[in-house]
Amino acid sequence: MFIPHQANLRISQFVQKKFGLTDDQVFNNIQKYGNTTAASIIIALTDAWEQGKIKEGDLVVLAAFGSGFTWASAVIRW
């Protein structure tokens, strides 16, 4: 599961397309909450888990970016 920073749905969809990921492989919730800034990934991760989209043993990729060309990512085994 790929969970990007929920800054803009168009950006998430662009990255999804570039990586060749299906809708089932990317989780977005910006439509529900909007851009929650620094909390967006943890909120999306919690939503994905509560909805059963992440299960034990799954690989989860978290990716964030911000102003000043800051960025970070992590790959975790759930």
Residue of 64, 70, 69, 67 whose CA lies nearest to 2: 64
Is 16's pLDDT higher than 90?
yes
pLDDT single digits (tens) 53-76: 999 999 999 999 887 888 999 999
Distance from the Cα of residue 15 to its chain's centroid: 11
Domain that holds residue 43: 2-77
Side-chain half-sphere CA neighbours of 33 within 13 A: 18
Indicate which CATH number applies to the domain containing 46.
Answer: 3.40.47.10
pLDDT single digits (tens) 19-47: 999 999 999 999 999 999 889 999 999 99
Task: Summarize the confidence of residues 9-27 as an average pLDDT.
Answer: 95
For the chain, the domain total comes to 1
Global pTM reads 0.89
